[in-house]
Amino acid sequence: MKIGFIGLGNMGAPMAANLVKAGHEVTGFDVAGVTVDGVTPAGSAPEAAGGQDAVITMLPNGAILRSVYAEIVDAGTAGSVFIDCSTVDVESARAAHEMAAAKGLLSVDAPVSGGVGGASAGTLTFMAGGSAEAFGLANPLFEIMGKKAVHCGDAGAGQSAKICNNMLLGISMIGTCEAFALAEKLGLSAQKLFDVVSTSSGSCWSVNAYCPVPGVGPQSPADNDYKPGFAAELMLKDLKLSQQAASSVSAQTPMGAHATELYDAFVNDDGKGRDFSAMIERLK
């Protein structure tokens, strides 16, 4: 396929590289002038989007997504599929769908889970919203860039799933950090607590796969001085999106709201640029 890729940052660059490795013809654009081996550089976003079978965007926020889509939909080819892998607010995702549909383009909102490591390894999970036809066209590309893609529903459903998932992740990581911090003060070995919790009712991904204590469980950012696999400021961004979404539909998310407050304080103190699991040091 001929693919345009707009946004070649820490996530977009390895995703584009995996498409190239799979034999696709990729043209890329990034405002920072980033280049990727095997990706043909374009001088602008519309140039990258022109004449492609698929156009993938990986952008920082909803405002930028809307701005970029306003530029690129006119360059799109009728029947092509526009795939947005950014994590943005639900309304911006739906606005992008509407802009694409107005030009006869199929579209999917498909935020990802798996971080930079998953992008490099091609093991991302895609949460997709859009028509069944659009998902069908995008899915072969998801299979290259990731290990799983779930069609969550209509326009915006992918973003809704990502926001709910990451709100739960933020809450569970704080609970995990609290438990291990308490265990330390009680004189309980972190390894012994892991051995119990990982096979008991407190078991969760934040414990089993991403334990915030160095030397406990599978290797995680805690074993690398909390160098980010998923940066605390990105968790804060997603938590804020969850609270924006909750407010828009009058949903009660008291734990999500408190997690947002805690990560906001952490990021604005000394957490920026650190993994979100470094929250344990603040709680200690």
Tokens of residue 51, six digits: 């004449």
To 10 degrees, what angle do helices 232-248 and 254-266 make? 150
How many residues would you count in the chain?
Answer: 284
Cα distance between residue 231 and residue 237, in whole Å: 10
Spot the catalytic one: 2, 162, 185, 284: 162
Establish whether 162 is a catalytic residue: yes
Handedness of CA 71, 76, 79, 83 (dihedral sign): negative
Handedness of CA 237, 238, 240, 244 (dihedral sign): positive
Tokens of residue 98, six digits: 């509407």
- DSSP type of residue 278: G
Cα distance between residue 282 and residue 284, in whole Å: 5
- Residues belonging to the active site: 162
